[in-house]
Structure 1
């Protein structure tokens, strides 16, 4: 989210707008657009592969390789490190290329990497070093895909369809959050990590096949014969984001959340099997409860901001979603009550988190020039998600030094800094209308 200079032209899809009886233009239904459906299918498959992988690798390390808290923190940090190392470069690069090409190539790359992991596992080489290598490679390719898909929607749909499009795409991520963790946990527990990795590879292959069928020619910024140096394009993206108070707040709030959330999740993935004595399948199912909540959140995000205001939705949803994890340290044992409480906690987190994600993304896309979409998304990702590797390392350190329950309480409390920052900023004063470019 932020201010832009000028009046950028946002490309329109080939489907024409419908007109109501009153003569006012009404956005056409995106589901009638074949290329949007192909993007949605590819995004859903890609997110399924990503969320399956995110649970497969840590659970395999904990349950099969008996990884300790420090080793798990390193594994998660290695998988998240590409966000810190590559985001700014990827954003500058994606702005000059067709997003379809970027997504297709990265899907193919993730398929090949996980396919190689399957072969390594079958040959008995799938130890911790191999896990670290796979986690870094998949994380690096995912940075390219995530930046590209955020920029792709703006090049495919009208400005007044952004909230609808983001709601649909974030709904696909919700479906992934339903199936990915449950599938990953079950496969690791019942079969083996190589088989679980093979399932992720199949999802990425499906995403590749769907996205490559997109036929619409993207409107991308005109390439100059002598384009500015890469560092200058990165600097332009940083300056664009930093120049606006609301955008700076998004970065700070995202950094506070991602740092604390990464630390909390490192402890959480140890707390569930070792403190509450839950099986890998139960852990996967508990985490999967985020998915139905996120699915509901994506539907609510298409309505609540225009009714109650974007600022009200952002602050209240962030406070609810982050605060609910303060209940987890109070749980004991593996009873049905404990499992039910975990399901409820993750469901609420999914609803609130998705409201925040969709709302912030729609606002940012609406006010960002076409040629700056990749760099704006990458800059915010760099500042926010770039803190995740450090948070994962901190979570592993706290778990070793202070114990799982105390560490979980501290890291969950740290997540509350994010809604506080938003409440004290101009974000909280956003009204019911989607902000437009200046």
Structure 2
């Protein structure tokens, strides 16, 4: 895409995704190695990081519908840079504690809700709807590249310079992202509202549209289920590799990066796969492949058994990218402009809000069933969750609709 403003958004997103991926590995390793955190304490970190989606996502969708999106994105990046920047500063004076980490991830979690909701609705204001799949595929490629490069860098940064330094690099990436966002030239306008409805009404409009739509409703149910199970894996994976497979932080990063190369492949082939298999069919097939990949991860053991981890992550990476690109593009295409922020917030809420529940349960399960047992439960849950899409109207569809149709959704209000 030769769109200048899209390139700036793409670069800002790439830096923000890179920071997020560094944080995903560096913070739990910092807690586990430097502060000797337990599995329960690591699960609390992850719970606080995602708790804001449960408490604020729907409200943020209504608020950002009234705000200039780029301004929200820049403010969220700057706030996260300040929060994570406090970690290496405290570490330099020997004052870093678990309570500070709890506060940092909680504050960053709130700002991430604003960034995520605004980010999900900003692209349609920059490109034509016919370019949404290509635009989302390129943005998803950022996730893939970050997934490949950041874990390895993060692991080696932790091993060579300590976890606090890795978190400091994360802070710098958010500052750079904000700088690129400020260079976007398209007018950053407040969305036009015919009449400002009460906040509760605006929230209910987004919920009503999603739950009345036969495809978005099923996608939402699938996302709720996989969100909980995915948090099992995210919360305990680093501890599992560190304490049961006995890997160094550098090797953990390398193993994560090698396995997630599938995400890069997924972003490169998603459009061709959609044309070949059909976009609707590809969605439920991707969900099944995701489950298969997750079920390979707990098979990981020292020695040759380590091969299960990158293979499982490879399949997981391909399937998540392909599924996400078509889900987001479909939602953006079928949602009327006046509901974009509210529907995006509802979708974010359904995916991220169950995360704190999954993170908290992961700590309990790790104490009862062990780290490997928790990973088995994560794999089984993601595999069973695929049935939402397999048994949905998507089975009778090949291509996804390209534009919003008022009658088909049964939604009429805004």
Maintained 8 Å contact 2:293/2:312: yes
Matched, 1:210 2:176: no
What TM-score do you get using the length of structure 2 for normalisation? 0.94
Matched, 1:73 2:56: no
Aligned length: 405
Question: Which string of whole-angstrom CA distances, capped at 9 and with x for unpartnered residues, describes residues 279-310 of structure 1?
Answer: 11111122223542111111211221122112
1:305 aligns with 274
Matched, 1:371 2:338: yes
1:6 aligns with none
Question: Which string of whole-angstrom CA distances, capped at 9 and with x for unpartnered residues, describes residues 140-173 of structure 1?
Answer: 1111111111101111111111100000110011
What TM-score do you get using the length of structure 1 for normalisation? 0.89
The structure where helix makes up a greater share of residues is 2
Matched, 1:267 2:236: yes
- Secondary structure of residue in 2 paired with 1:215: coil
Across the aligned residues of Structure 1 and Structure 2, the Cα RMSD in angstroms comes to 1.5
Q: Following the alignment from structure 1 to structure 2, what is the Cα–Cα distance between the partners of residues 294 and 434?
A: 25
Q: Following the alignment from structure 2 to structure 1, what is the Cα–Cα distance between the partners of residues 18 and 313?
A: 18
Instruction: Answer with 379-388 or 428-437: which moved more.
Output: 428-437
Matched, 1:197 2:164: no
Matched, 1:88 2:55: no
2:364 equivalent among 393, 397, 401 = 397
- Secondary structure of residue in 1 paired with 2:386: helix
Q: Following the alignment from structure 2 to structure 1, what is the Cα–Cα distance between the partners of residues 275 and 80?
A: 38
- Secondary structure of residue in 2 paired with 1:303: helix
- Deviation of 1:434 after TM superposition, in Å, equals 4.1
1:229 aligns with 198
Maintained 8 Å contact 1:306/1:433: no
- Deviation of 1:311 after TM superposition, in Å, equals 2.0
- Deviation of 1:219 after TM superposition, in Å, equals 5.8
Which ranges of structure 1 fall in alignment gaps of 5 or more residues?
Answer: 1-29
Matched, 1:238 2:219: no
Q: Following the alignment from structure 1 to structure 2, what is the Cα–Cα distance between the partners of residues 263 and 45?
A: 26
1:278 aligns with 247
- Secondary structure of residue in 2 paired with 1:187: helix
Maintained 8 Å contact 1:257/1:417: no
- Deviation of 1:42 after TM superposition, in Å, equals 0.3
2:83 equivalent among 95, 109, 113 = 113
- Deviation of 1:235 after TM superposition, in Å, equals 1.2
- Deviation of 1:430 after TM superposition, in Å, equals 3.0
Instruction: Answer with 126-135 or 34-43: which moved more.
Output: 126-135
- Secondary structure of residue in 2 paired with 1:339: helix
Matched, 1:361 2:340: no
Matched, 1:55 2:22: no
Question: Which string of whole-angstrom CA distances, capped at 9 and with x for unpartnered residues, describes residues 380-403 of structure 1?
Answer: 111221111111111111110122
Matched, 1:322 2:279: no
Which runs of 4 or more aligned residues in structure 1 lie more than 6 Å from their structure 2 counterparts after TM superposition? none
Instruction: Answer with 127-136 or 337-346: which moved more.
Output: 337-346
Change (3 A) 1:282 1:352: same
Maintained 8 Å contact 1:156/1:218: no
Maintained 8 Å contact 2:293/2:311: no
Which ranges of structure 2 fall in alignment gaps of 5 or more residues?
Answer: 406-414
Maintained 8 Å contact 1:56/1:196: yes
1:432 equivalent among 371, 383, 399 = 399
1:414 aligns with 381
Alignment of 1:324-343 (within 5 A): 324-333=293-302, 335=303, 337-343=304-310
- Deviation of 1:117 after TM superposition, in Å, equals 2.1
